[in-house]
Amino acid sequence: MVKEFWNQRYATNETVYGKEPNAFFKLFIDLHKPGTVLLPAEGEGRNALYAAKKGWTVHAFDFKTFKANQQYDLVASIYVHLPPALRKTFHQELIRSIKPGGFLLLEAFAKEQIEFDSGGPKDEALLYNAPTLCNDFKFLHLLNCEQKELRLKEGEFHSGKAAVLRLTGQKI
């Protein structure tokens, strides 16, 4: 059912989440020396295209089972919302795919997003809170883990006031 949902969304909309990269991702890319980046659940590829234009070697995929078989300087999980059991396994694979000294960048909707109509799942189990994220990534050095309200401008499906969580971690 999930696969059909995304296939339908992308089939009927040219740029579901806009053409510009996610702002949190863009800031990281702009401030760091290019290296290798993994973008799981990348959808239309807006973040991948931006990183490639900035000199990064990009590996991206959309919908498939993920097993870490390579390590990257950066792994970016941008609005990847999964059921709790699958999420935990997915996050473990993300950690395995980060090189020592490499970074994890994550932005996702917080549980409070349920009150806003600016995008994201309407199932609270698919939304995040800071304690869960901090626990999932407890073996990384967390540089920041914050929840904030902001105004999204990422195409018609991510537009308006939103509650998001942003996490930056480093594998030591």
Per-block mean pLDDT, blocks of 10 residues, the chain (172 long): 57 68 97 98 94 98 86 97 94 97 98 95 96 94 95 85 97 96
Give the pLDDT confidence score for residue 119 in this predicted structure. Answer: 93
Q: CA–CA separation, 130 vs 108, rounded Å? A: 11
The pTM of this model reads 0.90
Nearest to 39 by CA among 116, 124, 97: 97
Give the pLDDT confidence score for residue 13 in this predicted structure. Answer: 60
